[in-house]
Structure 1
């Protein structure tokens, strides 16, 4: 089983417009509402890949019942824990004239100490059945930056950690199996600019040196890099039609987790994750993956060990 756990779900509106005009009235050609946020996207993606998964997150306000109902409809096994504050609402605007995506992101509301304790208890209850864990998403204001580190202390299976900044730094002491900040998040964590490939790889291996077994940096349609302390891999992504890029990073994490769960070598698991991200890119709603479509993308992805 895989556990997907995080504190920052969202109720997501997706709007398509023919041409976005700021400062003007824009009429949408379509509007969709769906459950989202990193932890939910990972749970939905893993479910679509047919791997047992428990998705754990808090939710509150009017969105709680909507999220719970959709997750049940999708067949995603989850624990939707009660939260006093309402779950955030985020909006994605897809401009079809330019293929640009505009995101309006509400920050996650604070979680109380009692709610954090319940989350931790629920996580530990399922942990004994887990072979892989994905800890993902930003921490709400007021949550200790050591929150993910404290969960890692209790976790004795591979952990894929999608975090940044102080929470990533704190977690490195517990040697997560794989971390996947994006380029900007890596710069923020290291507090330095990484303007070229050499500095990027050096920064990634600095994170390896601090404790992460693997570091993965994705860059959309450009090269994906993966490093361990000893090795550097370069991956060339597949070409995919852009429909909605939201949840591509989450699908990447989910695909890697499924690959690791199936016993694939890490470079092959990363290719599978990249295929998941490419498939997600072609779908309007996040994380609705299909293994048959993914296989075609997987076959296009090139990998080269350069160190």
Structure 2
């Protein structure tokens, strides 16, 4: 097995179940037709996509119970090398219903198992071992109950110690308790608003909030995903906007993770950050065409990459 260039950490993996129904109504029995089962959680989704794009990658995650076994088997079936930390409680499930009559999507996300202090320590020990020989660590997703909110700062400290670049995609307390050591931070606009405590109604305000994270030393670069409005990139040197590719989405679940995966894969190939974000937009777009949290194809990603417009430099006065 190739030494992984990219190592992903998923502290709160899930068995992602997706199905469809004609109409979703309260109190009624919802008759569903067909279902898909995928291993989920931010880092696992990143690892599966990176594997599809041809990058050497491995996935670290805690897992327990019958659901944890299913997730582990599905990651293995995706040909992703893995490091499982066995835990006492059962790995969570997430459930997505696509309403066919309206095209609306309903997502039900459970909080996840509670990890003991020893299980948490094992996760960090495994990360330290794997990260020492990797170029990038991608820490992605929510934190399960029992894991302290400064967890990702501990991950950043480990990455600094072993000389590995950290890419972080998280929300809530896991994001606000990070103070330094991130190479690239990828919040959605919702997550950036939560982090800043402001509405961020204009592009200038969004870029200013992203640049503030750079100026405070939280991250060297911040990529803000804006969904149908594209993305923004802020570094100490410049700011850029990127347009989205309009498509009819089948499912938006995992699109942000696909974007992160492609950005990291591109950087591992030595591409510029601007080109890496363009590649990320292409991969996120391709992911919109897959049901559930299925992995998009490399051919679709490359096809969409040809359609991504050039980045536009943005001149914003930061205060």
Q: TM-score, normalised by structure 2?
A: 0.92
CA contact (8 A) 2:39 2:74 kept: yes
Q: Which residue of 1 aligns with 2:184?
A: 178
Q: 1:107/1:275 Cα in 2 relative to 1: closer, same or farther (>3 Å)?
A: same
Counterpart CA distance in 2 for 1:116 and 1:300 is: 43
- Select between 246-255 and 144-153 the one with higher mean Cα deviation: 144-153
Q: Which residue of 2 aligns with 1:148?
A: 152
Instruction: Summarize deviations over 1:39-88 as a string: whole Å, max 9, x none.
Output: 21111111111111110000111112211211222111111210111111
Counterpart CA distance in 1 for 2:267 and 2:135 is: 9
Q: Which residue of 2 aligns with 1:204?
A: 210
Aligned-pair distance for 1:101? 1.2
Counterpart CA distance in 2 for 1:69 and 1:144 is: 28
- Select between 193-202 and 49-58 the one with higher mean Cα deviation: 193-202
Number of aligned positions between the proteins: 306
CA contact (8 A) 1:216 1:224 kept: yes
Counterpart CA distance in 2 for 1:23 and 1:261 is: 50
Question: Helix, strand or coil: the match of 2:242?
Answer: strand
Counterpart CA distance in 1 for 2:77 and 2:6 is: 20
Q: Which residue of 2 aligns with 1:214?
A: 221
Instruction: Summarize deviations over 1:229-255 as a string: whole Å, max 9, x none.
Output: 231111111122311110001101111
CA contact (8 A) 1:71 1:78 kept: yes
Instruction: Summarize deviations over 1:134-181 as a string: whole Å, max 9, x none.
Output: 01111122212221111211212221101223332332322x111111
Q: Which residue of 2 aligns with 1:68?
A: 72
CA contact (8 A) 2:96 2:292 kept: no
Match of 1:250 among 257, 265, 282: 257
CA contact (8 A) 1:8 1:39 kept: no
Q: Which residue of 2 aligns with 1:299?
A: 306
Question: Helix, strand or coil: the match of 1:189?
Answer: helix
Aligned-pair distance for 1:285? 4.0
CA contact (8 A) 1:42 1:287 kept: no
Matches for 1:1-307 after TM superposition, within 5 Å: 1-155=5-159, 156-174=163-181, 176-211=182-217, 212-302=219-309, 303-307=311-315
Moved over 4 A (4+): none
Instruction: Summarize deviations over 1:186-217 as a string: whole Å, max 9, x none.
Output: 11112222122221111111111122111111
CA contact (8 A) 1:93 1:102 kept: yes
Aligned-pair distance for 1:112? 0.8
Counterpart CA distance in 1 for 2:294 and 2:19 is: 17
Unaligned segments of structure 1, at least 5 residues = none
Aligned-pair distance for 1:132? 1.1
